């Protein structure tokens, strides 16, 4: 797993990998979900644009099949069927 980096500007792929890594570190797979507001606030401390882009990237990740949205799209969890792809995505963009 990747530790939390310092505040800076991230590319779209790096931000998506950061979101996936955050949820993975919390152990939120399948029916165990995490509030998007809390995640956006936390990542807003690390991301240069104050987390405004986080919600947009969460929706993109859900459309790509990496995340599952719950409770009227206010919470998210990782898709257990895409576990291998999620880990590869994180390693590709955060461990370079």
DSSP string, 39-89: HHHHHHTTBTTTTHHHHHHHHHHHHTTSEEEETTTTEEEE-GGGHHHHHHH
* Mean pLDDT in residue range 1-12: 68
| Pairing status of strand 67-70 against strand 75-78 | antiparallel
Tokens linked to 13: 């792929």
Domain boundaries, the chain: 12-94
* 0.75 exceeded by pTM: yes
CATH code assigned to 12-94: 1.10.10.10
34-82 pLDDT per residue, tens: 999 999 888 887 776 666 788 899 999 999 999 999 999 899 999 999 9
Greater confidence (2 vs 77) lies with 77
Q: What angle do CA 32, 96, 48 make, to 5 degrees?
A: 70
């Amino acid at each position: 797993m990747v530790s939390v980096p310092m505040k800076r500007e991230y590319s779209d792929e790096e931000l998506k990998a950061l979101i996936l890594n955050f949820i993975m570190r919390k152990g939120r797979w399948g029916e165990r979900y995490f509030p998007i507001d809390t995640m956006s606030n936390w990542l807003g401390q690390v991301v240069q644009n104050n987390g405004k882009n986080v919600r947009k990237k969460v929706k993109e990740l859900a459309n790509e099949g990496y995340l599952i949205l719950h409770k009227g799209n206010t919470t998210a969890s990782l898709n257990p069927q895409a576990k291998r792809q999620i880990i590869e995505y994180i390693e590709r963009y955060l461990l370079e």
